[in-house]
Amino acid sequence: MLPEQSELKTIYHDPCELGRNQGIYREPRHVLRHLVRLQNNIYKKNDGICCGGSVADLEMDYEDKQRIASDSIRQLIQPDTQLLATSCPLCKITFKASNIIPVKDIAEIYAESLTIILPVKEYAEEESMNF
């Protein structure tokens, strides 16, 4: 089954751990290009912006983290951006708390893009299995 592409204008945020620490930059974008309308991000790869929620900075208080996250989001998004995508659970939580723009993990975006159509008989059988 192939995912359906959405028209959501989406910015991808390069997480520190996946990007700078693991060198993974192309793969998340490759996946997202098949799922959404990926917008250009000038703060990418090694020039990515911190989300403010780094595990390495446990001494920073919540308000400071949220200030960093809000500032980062405002720098990342464009006026017509509808979604911020990331591939780090910590970045997702930190950015989402700012309530500036919807934030989702790539896995969520992919899962939501799948449409499963079952014949009526199979659907009834699955419902009766009580997952």
Mean pLDDT of 1-28: 85
DSSP conformational letter for 122: H
Q: What is the pLDDT of residue 107?
A: 94
Model pLDDT for residues 42-93, shown as the tens digit of each residue: 988 888 888 888 755 667 788 888 888 999 999 999 999 999 999 999 899 9
Give me the sign of the Cα torsion angle 102, 112, 49, 30: negative
Q: Identify which has the larger pLDDT, 128 or 95.
A: 95
What ranges do the domains of the chain cover? 9-128
Alpha-carbon distances, residue 82 vs 9, 74, 112, 121 (angstroms): 5, 13, 15, 38
For residue 96, pLDDT over 80 is answered with yes
Which of 10-14, 18-22, 31-35, 115-119 has the least mean pLDDT?
A: 115-119
- How far the first Cα of the chain sits from its last, in Å, is 22
Q: Identify which has the larger pLDDT, 54 or 1.
A: 54
Q: Are 96 and 105 in contact (CB under 8 A)?
A: no
For residue 121, pLDDT over 70 is answered with no
Q: Identify which has the larger pLDDT, 1 or 87.
A: 87
**Which residues face 37 on adjacent strands?**
9
For residue 125, pLDDT over 80 is answered with no
